[in-house]
């Protein structure tokens, strides 16, 4: 009889965990709210055998009686920086995959008439959160934010917050068992205690109407506010001062025309101060306005065809061998992209932190953001699909007000199948449910050379469901040239714009060798490979953008070569130490030439 009750109980717990995970609603623009940072040194315990939860170490008990003892303590032990990955903080944790407990204390002076939320920018990969000895929430997915309401659970002094973080790779996870970047674990982004009035502005989406160059659409979602609450939207520089009333569900919407709008573009990344307020709450941030659409084979930005001079990078600072997490890190990554002459970044292969996204917008980069649907995803698994849907919603919710965001990427290198198609359709629907103004893209690696037709072709019918088709193709690296680059003509996704979303090859900075021997790992080989590919691009009639792989050498367990790789993917145009390789200059000249066209 015991077993069924136990079973029912654990099933209920499972459901509870699922409900916690599913109930993630995000407060828009947390950086613009009243926040208390919880960044800094946290206490930590490495829990290789997952014993911490069983032993309830989140209770942080201390011996009281003479016979008491506990085989753990968060005091005087390991200390880890938050935000950061654990891998870069201790040699013993470089390869660690498993559980680490993080804990800290904090005071939260009492606030009447306000609600409080714990906000985590990202925890990699899954976590459970405990406050003052109670489990209060859980999250899965290493690259998107989540919040847990803690109103009424806080003490004015000495709150004990513990986070059980686990980065074990599993087949049902996203990404799954193997991927070409480092499996960093930890509380990798900012942690904050967010305070809002009890009736507050939870969310807003303010953008230029899809097919209009002077109509701004605004949707505001209030929480805890009565129907009929007045919502004011101001854009002082455009003389906008509108008041609308919220309906029964707390939603208020408005559309209004503006005059003399200066639209955001890479050349002129104009942002406007936007204020949303009610009698109880007020949020302010900088928002830009632009149009993006496709027209036949063109990508049209603010009414003019654009060519995307893109680059990718991982959210990693190579010199530190760790995740990028600060504004200073964002400056480093984006400055190097600017120097290359780019007008776009493909944020590989997952949503990167908000410092990067916000700074990229200010610096005039269009952005492609994607979730890590990267080879090896279990498309037939319903929970994985639900997870992916939640992840993509978290990404779109967080960044929908960033006009720099041009593409929502739904997948990288997937093979056609019924379950794959259903999965990707679900992701597209999740994006469009929140935002129907961006272009939907996916990157494919299925382009092949058709010997009979003497053309490069691709057969995946799914491209019909996308706004823009992106192709990863490693000619001269993973694929030998079947004919000379000047004769390599493409007939792929005609009628739609095509982006080369990856190409390249590896070179060890400072290593010189023959330009026609791949295994020389030389800068000369990489440079010649770039020259050949750039020549081939002239034969892709619908080519509207290029994104070399990749800006910096990056850490990857895929890369074993003892002399040339040492755990690094060396396809960077810039070395792990920040030095530009020969191919960088070629790419820079290519982009500069396009600017003049
Ligand atoms: C790809 C993947 C990328 C890898 C790259 C490579 O096609 O999309 O994540 O890092 O190839 O270097 O092999």
User: Is it the case that residue 11 has pLDDT exceeding 80?
Assistant: no
Q: Which of 4-18, 22-36, 95-109, 430-444 has the lowest mean pLDDT?
A: 4-18
Ligand 1 contact via 435 beta carbon (within 6 Å): no
Residue 18 — very low, low, confident or very high, per pLDDT cuts 50/70/90? very low
pLDDT of res. 211: 86
| Residue 505: C-alpha distances to residues 502, 517, 527, 548, 581 (Å) | 10, 12, 9, 10, 12
- Residue 456 and residue 539 share a domain: yes
Report the CATH number at residue 74: 2.60.120.260
Structure tokens at 470: 């992106």
Q: What does the pLDDT average to over 384-388?
A: 98
Q: Which of 6-15, 178-187, 345-354, 442-451 has the lowest mean pLDDT?
A: 6-15
Alpha carbon of 396 to ligand 1 centroid (Å): 24
User: Is it the case that residue 2 has pLDDT exceeding 60?
Assistant: no
Measured between alpha carbons, how far is 201 from 230 in angstroms, rounded to an integer? 11
Helix axes 382-399, 418-434, angle to 10 degrees: 30
| Test site for ligand 1: of 409, 472, 503, most ligand atoms within 8 A of the Cβ | 472
- Residue 243 and residue 173 share a domain: no
Ligand 1 contact via 549 beta carbon (within 6 Å): yes
Please tell me what DSSP assigns to residue 34.
Answer: E
From 196, 228, 256, the end of a domain falls on: 196
> Has residue 3 been placed in a domain?
no
> Has residue 2 been placed in a domain?
no
Ligand 1 contact via 472 beta carbon (within 6 Å): yes
Ligand 1 atom showing the smallest separation from residue 180 Cα: 10
pLDDT tens digit sequence for 433-484: 999 999 999 999 999 999 999 999 999 999 999 999 999 999 999 999 999 9
User: Is it the case that residue 15 has pLDDT exceeding 70?
Assistant: no
pTM (predicted TM-score): 0.95
> Has residue 427 been placed in a domain?
no
- Residue 228 and residue 166 share a domain: no
Report the CATH number at residue 218: 2.60.40.10
Ligand 1 contact via 582 beta carbon (within 6 Å): no
- Residue 173 and residue 110 share a domain: yes
- Residue 29 and residue 51 share a domain: yes
Q: Whose CA is nearest to atom 2 of ligand 1?
A: 180
Measured between alpha carbons, how far is 215 from 335 in angstroms, rounded to an integer? 33
Ligand 1 atom showing the smallest separation from residue 445 Cα: 7
Ligand 1 atom showing the smallest separation from residue 349 Cα: 9
Measured between alpha carbons, how far is 401 from 288 in angstroms, rounded to an integer? 8
> Has residue 485 been placed in a domain?
yes
Structure tokens at 502: 């990856």
Are the beta carbons of 136 and 150 closer than 8 angstroms? yes
Are the beta carbons of 205 and 219 closer than 8 angstroms? yes
User: Is it the case that residue 3 has pLDDT exceeding 90?
Assistant: no
Alpha carbon of 558 to ligand 1 centroid (Å): 10
> Has residue 458 been placed in a domain?
yes
- Residue 233 and residue 124 share a domain: no
Contacts of 172 (CB under 8 A, 6+ apart): 378, 381, 383, 384, 387
Alpha carbon of 124 to ligand 1 centroid (Å): 21
Query: What average pLDDT does the structure give for the chain?
Result: 95
pLDDT tens digit sequence for 328-353: 999 999 999 999 999 999 999 999 99
- Residue 228 and residue 165 share a domain: no
Are the beta carbons of 207 and 405 closer than 8 angstroms? no
User: Is it the case that residue 8 has pLDDT exceeding 70?
Assistant: no
Ligand 1 atom showing the smallest separation from residue 443 Cα: 8
pLDDT of res. 25: 83
Secondary structure class of 594 (helix, strand, coil): helix
Ligand 1 atom showing the smallest separation from residue 413 Cα: 8
Report the CATH number at residue 459: 3.20.20.80
> Has residue 403 been placed in a domain?
yes
- Residue 188 and residue 62 share a domain: yes
Ligand 1 contact via 147 beta carbon (within 6 Å): no
Alpha carbon of 398 to ligand 1 centroid (Å): 26
- Residue 155 and residue 73 share a domain: yes
- Residue 44 and residue 167 share a domain: yes
Burial class (CB in 10 A: 0-12, 13-18, 19+), 426: middle
Q: What angle do CA 112, 115, 119 make, to 5 degrees?
A: 140
- Residue 537 and residue 440 share a domain: yes
Alpha carbon of 441 to ligand 1 centroid (Å): 17
Alpha carbon of 335 to ligand 1 centroid (Å): 23
- Residue 223 and residue 79 share a domain: no
Residue whose token pair is 């659970």: 153
For 43-56, the three-class secondary structure string (H helix, E strand, C coil) is EEEEECCCCCCCCC
| Residue 233: C-alpha distances to residues 219, 226, 241, 263, 271 (Å) | 10, 18, 6, 19, 16
Domain tally for the chain? 3
Q: Which domain does 475 fall in, by range?
A: 315-326+338-348+373-383+398-420+436-593
> Has residue 119 been placed in a domain?
yes
Residue 545 — very low, low, confident or very high, per pLDDT cuts 50/70/90? very high
> Has residue 301 been placed in a domain?
no
């Amino acid at each position: 009889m015991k077993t069924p009750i136990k079973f029912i109980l654990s099933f209920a717990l499972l459901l509870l965990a699922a409900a916690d995970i599913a109930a993630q609603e995000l407060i828009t623009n947390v950086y613009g709210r009243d926040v208390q940072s919880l960044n800094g040194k946290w206490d930590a315990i490495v829990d290789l055998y997952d014993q911490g939860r069983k032993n309830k170490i989140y209770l942080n008990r201390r011996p009281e009686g003479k016979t008491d003892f506990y085989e753990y303590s968060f005091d005087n032990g390991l200390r880890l920086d938050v935000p950061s990955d654990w891998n870069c903080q201790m040699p013993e944790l470089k390869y660690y995959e498993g559980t680490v407990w993080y804990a800290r204390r904090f005071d939260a002076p009492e606030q009447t008439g306000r609600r409080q939320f714990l906000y985590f920018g990202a925890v990699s990969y899954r976590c459970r959160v405990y406050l003052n000895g109670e489990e209060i929430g859980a999250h899965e997915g290493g690259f998107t934010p989540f919040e847990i309401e803690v109103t009424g659970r806080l003490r004015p002094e000495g709150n004990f917050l513990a986070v059980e973080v686990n980065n074990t790779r599993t087949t049902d996870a996203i990404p799954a068992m193997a991927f070409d970047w480092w499996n960093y674990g930890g509380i990798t982004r900012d942690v904050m205690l967010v305070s809002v009035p009890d009736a507050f502005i939870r969310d807003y989406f303010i953008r230029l109407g899809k097919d209009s160059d002077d109509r701004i659409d605004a949707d505001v979602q209030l929480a805890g506010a009565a129907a009929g609450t007045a919502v004011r939207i101001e854009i002082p520089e455009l003389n906008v001062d509108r008041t609308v009333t919220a309906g029964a569900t707390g939603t208020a919407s408005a559309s209004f025309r503006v005059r003399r709008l200066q639209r955001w573009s890479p050349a002129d990344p104009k942002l406007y101060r936007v204020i949303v307020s009610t009698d109880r709450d007020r949020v302010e941030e900088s928002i830009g306005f632009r149009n993006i659409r496709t027209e036949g084979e063109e990508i049209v930005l603010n009414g003019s065809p654009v060519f995307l001079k893109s680059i990718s990078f991982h959210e990693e600072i190579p010199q530190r061998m760790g995740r990028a997490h600060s504004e200073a890190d964002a400056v480093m990554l984006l400055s190097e992209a600017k120097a290359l002459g780019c007008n776009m970044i493909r944020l590989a292969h997952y949503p990167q932190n908000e410092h990067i996204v916000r700074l990229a917008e200010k610096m005039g980069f269009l952005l492609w953001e994607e979730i890590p649907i990267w080879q090896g995803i279990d498309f037939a698994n319903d929970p994985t699909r639900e997870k992916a849907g939640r992840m993509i919603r978290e990404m779109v919710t967080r960044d929908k007000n960033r006009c720099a965001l041009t593409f929502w990427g739904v997948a990288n290198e997937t093979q056609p199948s019924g379950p794959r198609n259903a999965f990707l359709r679900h992701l597209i629907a999740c994006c469009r449910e929140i935002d129907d103004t961006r272009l939907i893209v996916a990157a494919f690696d299925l382009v092949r050379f058709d010997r009979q037709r003497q053309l490069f072709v691709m057969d995946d019918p799914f491209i019909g469901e996308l706004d823009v088709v992106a192709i990863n193709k490693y000619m001269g690296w993973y694929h030998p040239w079947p004919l000379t680059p000047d004769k390599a003509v493409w007939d792929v996704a005609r009628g739609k714009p095509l982006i080369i979303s990856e190409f390249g090859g590896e070179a060890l900075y400072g290593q010189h060798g023959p330009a026609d021997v791949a295994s020389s790992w030389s800068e000369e080989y990489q440079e010649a490979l770039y020259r050949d590919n750039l020549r081939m691009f002239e034969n892709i009639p619908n080519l509207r953008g290029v994104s070399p792989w990749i800006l910096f050498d990056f850490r990857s367990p895929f890369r074993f070569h003892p002399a040339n790789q040492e755990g690094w993917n060396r396809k960077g145009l810039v070395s792990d130490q920040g030095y530009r390789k020969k191919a960088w200059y070629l790419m820079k000249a290519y982009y500069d030439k396009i600017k003049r066209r």
